[in-house]
A and B are shown apart, each in its own frame.
Chain A
């Protein structure tokens, strides 16, 4: 067990180190922070932003002389902002996961990993943890923005809602990255891996639309697989076991399939 942990750590550290030297990682981080910052400002502070809307409501209420219904600005903001972050991640995550195995295959370093005393599982888990860490690093500054914004809220924000929402975002990212890692293990081309992952994730994203179109028990069953539906419930502060199980299943499936695909790759390789 200690050996497996040591192996996972070795893979994890190597992956993280390579992000520090990868221009792609810096470019992704820069683009993500720029866009996320822009959305943050636009949603909260823009001329059509939530603060403006709330102020208008208040003004309207005073003019009419009727008490305005309470406006949950924090909840509304989290819904819109994290919805946007989810969509933005949809584009970013396949780029993060595309190189996980495709690069190894291209460089021939898979041969090093496969002839080292380390299991495919350990490699896959180490890689997934590393790329997830990188993603969490990407969203960490946004938490700081939110903390600053929410500190001015009245009544003060209960910490449960933002925590649940961001947990949902991380779980969503882990699921997508895990599946992306599997797709990446299928090919030596990073571009192909990114495109395939994007298609797969988009399909899972809108699974509930597909499901409702199909209808019937099959449609209903498919509907439960939708990433978006379960992510939404997290963002609304609803942490359900079924959502946790679904995300957990996606993550596990990704790791399992990756380990299997690497094993098969070695058997088939000519």
Chain B
């Protein structure tokens, strides 16, 4: 029981909702259909379930064409629309009975199928409750129950966890996972963790076009460029004074030329600078407030500040093999926490694809005499992939 979607295009008047959407779901698979709001998820779901006809292209459920053999498709598919289709005045059991009857479940099996669907969705104790008295979470469960009551081989769920609380979301995800295997499931969502947790494959849709189809792991792996490190270094005041002394001696300072490896400080850094501008007058020296003010102070009374060391550190790290760029997140983060004499500095290091320069970075920092507080590797999350695919031009990451 596969679901194949072949070059679907849907045009509403002059607006194109989806364009050339193609994907396939194998038996027992859960496909996550991921996209920002208005990307065309619901339109695609509606075409697959036979609710809407496509302008061009077609979709097949178990080999049946949704346009030509609509009734055969409708018998084999369970569909939870964006808003669960419920009759508020009916009881849960009565409603499911009606849906079972409508979907052509034989009279002899109906009671058992309804009981089974209710048990599966945790509704057994609400069988006699009128639907309008149920909470949002329970209504969503009734919506899922109506999609599975006739035991369809293919299930289409349009945003099944929207509006649920975190505990209910986990329950619904477990339910969906338990349905996989003997059911083929398409699940649309704009919630990223949902996809990485439940889906075996992901199709990302943006502005009506599929921009990527792959497993969640492969999608994140594709974006290794997003891998990097976040570093926090520190020095206490005594050490700064010591460096100061070194800086004042006529020994040549490390080459201060700002190399091209130093990227422009990102907006974050200027913000944090503002928030840190109310520095306590613990150090009496006037502030040199630009991080570019590299060592070699002209005024002997100036202390070399950590930010100056930081700039030197940026240069130093920038030349390590495998490092793509180094950015100072906070030019000077001073006397925070319980040790007012400690100065801290945060950096973000992006590594080149396929490289893991963590070891060299750590060695380099320790070699410079600074204290290493934190060295954390960041992996590209599905969120990064999603943002990259849906905010840049769609052609960038077609596969």
Contact = CB atoms under 8 A, between A and B. Distances in A.
Given A10-B98, A21-B130, A108-B81, A117 B87 contact: no
B105 to A, nearest CB: 10
A131 to B, nearest CB: 16
B94 interface: yes
Interface residues of A, number: 28
B328 to A, nearest CB: 50
B104 interface: yes
A116 interface: yes
A13 B86 CA distance: 16
B74 A115 contact: yes
Given A7-B102, A14-B98, A115-B50, A107 B88 contact: yes
Given A6-B101, A10-B102, A14-B98, A115 B130 contact: no
Contacts of A7: 102
- Residue picked from A111, A112, A269, most chain B C-beta under 10 Å: A112
Interface in A70-101: none
B13 A118 contact: no
B213 to A, nearest CB: 25
A115 B49 contact: yes
A54 interface: no
Interface in B37-77: 46, 49-53, 71, 74-75, 77
Contact of A266 (B15, B51, B84, B86): B51
Contact of B74 (A3, A107, A116): A116
A114 interface: yes
A269 B42 CA distance: 12
A99 to B, nearest CB: 11
B89 interface: yes
Given A7-B102, A115-B50, A270 B13 contact: yes
B74 A117 contact: yes
What is the interface of chain A mostly: helix, strand, loop, or mixed?
helix
A21 B102 contact: no
A109 interface: yes
Interface string B85-102: 111111000100011011
A188 B94 CA distance: 25
Contacts of A270: 12-13, 15, 17
A10 B51 contact: no
B169 to A, nearest CB: 21
Interface string A1-38: 00100110111011001100110000000000000000
B81 A17 contact: no
Given A6-B104, A111-B81, A270-B12, A21 B53 contact: no
B327 to A, nearest CB: 45
B104 A117 contact: yes
Given A10-B101, A111-B51, A266-B52, A18 B90 contact: yes
Nearest to B95: A14
B28 to A, nearest CB: 22
Nearest to A114: B51
Contacts of A267: 52-53
Nearest to B48: A115
Contact of A112 (B52, B82, B85): B85
A125 B113 CA distance: 27
Interface in A113-168: 113-118
Nearest to B82: A108
Nearest to A108: B83
Interface in A232-270: 266-267, 269-270
A109 B85 contact: yes
B306 to A, nearest CB: 59
Nearest to B17: A270
Contacts of B84: 108
A11 B103 CA distance: 12
A111 B90 contact: no
Shortest 6 CB-CB contacts between residues of A and residues of B:
A112-B85, A10-B101, A21-B89, A109-B85, A117-B74, A270-B12
Given A270-B13, A270-B15, 16 more contacts: A6-B104, A7-B102, A10-B101, A13-B101, A18-B90, A21-B130, A22-B89, A107-B88, A108-B81, A111-B79, A115-B77, A117-B74, A117-B102, A118-B102, A267-B53, A269-B52
7 contacts: A10-B101, A18-B87, A21-B130, A107-B85, A115-B77, A116-B102, A266-B53
